[in-house]
Amino acid sequence: MTDDDQLRRADRLIWSLIAIIAGMVVAACVLGSFHIEWASFRAVSIASLLLCAASSFYSARKDSKAASALLCTAQFALFPAVAAPLSYIAASAALPLWDETFASWDRGLGLDWMAWLTAMNHHSGLHGIFAFAYSSFLPQAAIVIVALALTGHLLHLRLYIASFILAALLTIAVSAVLPAQGVWGYFQLSSENYPAITPVTRELHLHVFRGLRDGTFRDLIAQGAEGIITFPSLHTAGGFLFIFAMWPVRYLRWIFALLNLTMIAATPVDGGHYFSDVIAGIGVAILCWIAAARILSAPQHTAEQIVEISLSPSIAADLSPQPNEAKPAPNAESASRVVAQA
């Protein structure tokens, strides 16, 4: 399989996942009590269409780097627009809250969340750095796409986007089964508990989360949606995926590693997460990166073969070329080398 074939197959997979999620959201409205706020989807839909059109233009001109940068930006812009409503639908299952369990896990690990909040209050300058890092999530996503495209890591770029989609879907699924309101609601915190700092998220999501659980909130929105997932931490998973994604870019790898380790350290206070959420988020990132690499690097196969490959004990065996498979050019990317670099 040529590089172009691999890229096209990866793009088909990514667009298929986005389309399936969008279908699930629409079905929840048709069959349930949810209502789509279409106006909140207008800007991202128009932007994605324009980006795809521009990508087609550059693809016709054989400029694969520009085409990939534009197309993958469209994918990354559109996916959260359908994933956020899906997380709202998942939260509406209203299963018993797990906050007490997650807090007890933290205590069992010897991790004191309130002590960490106190430390941030006593070192407000340090918290300012943490808050900046935590808020860098979306700018980082854009930089990663542009950097990987312009440096020619086009398959690696698709691996990053596919692994992020898998991570988001996994966290949404787990959060539906193990829902939690987060530390701000569980500890019933107010501004009196953090007089010297202003955490990024605080309790802003609670009215949406509680409304989804009691049935008083049924609006599905794209732009302006609140992050309501507590366990696992998607911010943490995304931070590690940023590190994995940027590792092949020599001059940026350590900058992104430092920035994202800082972002992950900020996640308990600025994201309102238990420490156990952060630990679980790390596991999600590693699992989804490996799973995406195996899927994207496998030969043509059915869904059943994907499952069989993913359970194989050896990544190397899965990623080795088949006898009848054309060997890539010396400078071609392969997902096996991607995994080795990450």
pLDDT confidence tier of residue 333, bands split at 50, 70 and 90:
very low
pLDDT at 141 over 90: yes
In the prediction, which pLDDT does 336 show?
42
Q: CA-to-CA distance for 47 and 70, rounded, in angstroms?
A: 10
Is 331's pLDDT higher than 50?
no
pLDDT (0 to 100) of residue 1:
61
Give the position of tokens 């701000």.
184
Give 283: exposed, middle or buried? Use CB within 10 Å, 0-12, 13-18, 19+. Answer: middle
Task: With cut-offs at 50, 70 and 90, classify the pLDDT of residue 279.
Answer: very high
pLDDT tens, position by position, 17-71? 999 999 999 999 999 889 999 999 999 999 999 999 999 999 999 999 999 999 9
Q: How far apart are CA 54 and CA 77, in angstroms?
A: 15
Query: In the predicted model, what is the mean pLDDT of the chain?
Result: 87
The Cβ-side half-sphere exposure at 184, using a 13 Å CA radius, reads 24
Instruction: Give the span between the Cα atoms of 114 and 123, in whole angstroms.
Output: 14
Determine the average pLDDT of the residues in 147-155.
Answer: 95
pLDDT on residue 300: 57
Kindly state the tokens that stand for 317: 């065996």
Residue 190 has what pLDDT? 86
Place of tokens 């679980």: 280
pLDDT, tens only, 233-278: 999 999 999 999 999 999 899 999 999 999 999 999 999 999 999 9
Peptide bond into 85 cis (omega under 30): no
Give the tokens for residue 303. 């869904």
Q: What is the pLDDT of residues 164-214, one digit of tens each?
A: 999 999 999 999 999 999 999 999 988 888 999 999 988 889 999 999 999
pLDDT > 90 in the chain, percent: 78
Q: Residue 298: pLDDT above 80?
A: no
pTM, two decimal places: 0.85
Q: Determine contact, residues 131/270, Cβ cutoff 8 Å.
A: yes
Percent of the chain with pLDDT over 70: 87
Higher-scoring residue by pLDDT: 298, 86: 86
Rounded to whole angstroms, the Cα distance separating 54 from 35 reads: 32
Q: What is the pLDDT of residue 204?
A: 85
What residue type is assigned to position 97 of the chain? L
Expressed as residue numbers, the domain containing 334 is 3-341
- C-alpha–C-alpha distance, residues 182 and 178, integer Å: 12
Cα dist from 203 to 47, 89, 181, 228, 229, whole Å = 31, 20, 9, 10, 13
How many independent structural domains does the chain possess?
1
**pLDDT bracket for residue 109 (50, 70, 90):** very high
